[in-house]
Amino acid sequence: MTKRKIACPICKKPAEENWLPFCSKRCADADLGHWLSDDYAIPGEPVSPAPEDPSAED
C-alpha cells in the first residue's frame, strides 16, 4: 500500500507525519492563529442578536 502525499495547507510543502496535515509546528501554530483571529469561519445559519436587557442600563 502506498502512502498518499499531502501538502501542508499553509505553505504547500509535504506534510510531516508528526504534524499532519501540516509540515511543522510553525504552520500548525499559524493555522491556529487564523482560527483564533476569525480569519476562518464555518458557514451556518445566521444568528439573530440577543434582545437587549432594558434593566442593564440602570
The string of pLDDT tens digits covering residues 17-50 is 999 999 999 999 999 999 999 898 888 898 888 8
Q: Are 22 and 28 in contact (CB under 8 A)?
A: yes
Is residue 12 helix, strand or coil? coil
Instruction: Say if residue 58's pLDDT is above 70.
Output: no
- The predicted pLDDT at position 26 comes to 98
Q: Domain limits of the chain?
A: 1-38
Distance of CA 21 to the CA centre of its chain: 12
- The predicted pLDDT at position 48 comes to 85
Is residue 7 helix, strand or coil? strand
- The predicted pLDDT at position 10 comes to 97
Is 32 annotated as a binding-site member? no
- The predicted pLDDT at position 42 comes to 85
Is 23 annotated as a binding-site member? yes
Is 3 annotated as a binding-site member? no
What the block records as the C-alpha cell of 41 is 469561519
- The predicted pLDDT at position 1 comes to 56
Q: Buried b / exposed e across 7-23, counting CB within 10 Å, b at 16+?
A: ebebeeeebeeeeeebb
Residues in the chain, total: 58
Is 52 annotated as a binding-site member? no
